Amino acid sequence: MVMRYNPSLQGVALSHSNITFVNPVATIQRDCPFLICKVAFDATVWSPRVGFKLSGKVNLCSPDHISLLVHKTFNASIPRNHIPTDIWEFEYGPAENDPEFGEEARANENGKEEDGENSTGGKWVHRVTGDVLGGDNGLVEVTVVGLTVANEMLSVLGSLQPDPFSPRHVVHPPNAEEKGESGDESESEDDSEEEGSADSEESEEDTLQLLGKRKDAEEQRERAEKRKRKG
């Protein structure tokens, strides 16, 4: 129950205490060997809602998304369409196996890897000032635009956009009309291929007929010459 998403609580139970029985007696249902009783308790629940503001620490950057840790425990992700690319741009870092600037070189130089560095070596920086997103402490404030529950684990979808709920930031799948147009195009291509194959077959038949006629004409000439020689 603890640290797992509970639908009845609409959040993740962090802790519970002061457990008491609501009724002094319990019930037994049919052949069930367990006693059924109601209990009451106090619980601390982490229950984010869409529209909330949360602060998380950057732990991974890529050209497609930014990964955060909220309260050093919960995962949050900022997809590219929710990053204002007119303000921030992704800057690739050195390769991991670079002997001079790679992760191992920095780890040997500092004694340990710096906290908050991501394994890809890339980062999001300000287009004008060149400041790294999150600053020195790596903290970023996001607006919650979605929640995902998988295997009883809750993850947050965040946004850095000033208008996070604008339709401009929603990635739309191809609609039915576009699919229909693509289907019509493929059907027209298939029809043209079929017509082309039919034309090629007809041209082959015409060629064969011409060759047959020429052969018949040559045979008739040879017969006529033989008759003349006999006469």
- pLDDT tens profile 116-166: 444 456 999 999 999 999 999 999 999 999 999 999 999 999 999 999 999
Bridge partners (DSSP) of residue 67 are 60, 77
CA distance 46 to 24: 31
Phi/psi at 16 (5° precision): -145, 155
Picking from 46, 54, 61, the residue whose alpha carbon sits closest to that of residue 160 is: 54
What is the phi-psi region of residue 10: left when phi exceeds 0, alpha when psi lies from -120 to 50, beta otherwise? left
What token pair was written down for 38?
């109601």
What is the structure's pLDDT at 116?
44
Q: Is the pTM of this model over 0.85?
A: no
What is the structure's pLDDT at 159?
96
Q: From the centroid of its chain, how far is CA 54?
A: 23
Looking at 37-41, 55-59, 100-104, which range is the least confident one? Answer: 100-104
Highest mean predicted confidence (pLDDT) among 46-55, 96-105, 175-184: 46-55
Provide the pLDDT confidence category of residue 61 given band limits of 50, 70 and 90.
Answer: very high
What is the structure's pLDDT at 114?
46
